[in-house]
């Protein structure tokens, strides 16, 4: 996490015409500290922006930051509109988007695919809202079939569960019998 920029107390810095002499204060050191502080802030800003070029001038950096912030604002507005349309089911949005949402809600059939990808196994499932789904049972079946789960992707959209599991064979030389895994998962899910 990027630490927040520290604010330097301005009241401690001497001011012109304040009556006190500036003889005790090294103006060059103050200006050097100010430049280093600004350089640190610009460096943090540069780190936060998507970058194509490693070196940018300060004006290019600020222009890119402004453009990026505007793009993010537009993206947030678009996503909020999509979210509102999905919650309402109807709206002023495109009919393609609405048809896709209705299509997801209307298809409640269960789909299971098991693919062998070298020493890896990919299990994709789409489970309708009328089925009870226990992810830990699916993982248990995979572990019993001599695989180790590497990653799990899980989404619930409109009451339909989409799940992708990537598992690696414990012994790549032996591999995994996909037909056995498919049959066991079929018994569990269907």
Q: What's the average pLDDT block by block, 10 residues per block, for the chain (190 residues)?
A: 48 50 70 91 82 74 87 88 76 44 50 84 84 84 90 86 88 79 87
Q: What is the pTM of this model?
A: 0.44
Residues 6 or more apart whose CB falls under 8 angstroms from that of 90 comprise 98
pLDDT reported for residue 53: 60
3-state secondary structure of 87: helix
pLDDT reported for residue 1: 42
pLDDT reported for residue 105: 41
CB of 125 closer than 8 Å to CB of 189: yes
Q: How far is CA 181 from CA 24, 110, 114, 133, in A?
A: 80, 16, 8, 17
């Amino acid at each position: 996490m990027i630490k927040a920029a520290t604010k330097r107390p301005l009241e401690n810095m001497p001011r012109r015409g304040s009556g006190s002499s500036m003889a005790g204060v090294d103006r060059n050191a103050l200006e050097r500290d100010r430049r280093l502080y600004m350089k640190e802030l610009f460096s943090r800003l540069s780190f936060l922006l998507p970058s194509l070029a490693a070196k940018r001038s300060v004006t290019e950096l600020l222009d890119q930051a402004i453009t990026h912030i505007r793009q993010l604002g537009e993206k947030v507005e678009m996503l909020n509109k999509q979210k509102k349309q999905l919650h309402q089911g109807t709206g002023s949005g495109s009919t393609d988007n609405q048809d896709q949402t209705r299509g997801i809600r209307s298809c409640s059939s269960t789909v299971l695919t098991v693919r062998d990808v070298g020493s890896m196994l990919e299990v994709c499932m789409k489970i309708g809202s009328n089925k009870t789904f226990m992810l830990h049972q699916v993982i248990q079946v995979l572990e019993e079939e001599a695989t180790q789960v590497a990653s799990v992707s899980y989404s619930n959209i409109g009451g339909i569960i989409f799940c992708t599991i990537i598992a690696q064979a414990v012994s790549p030389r032996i591999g995994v019998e996909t037909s056995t895994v498919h049959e066991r998962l079929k018994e569990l899910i269907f």
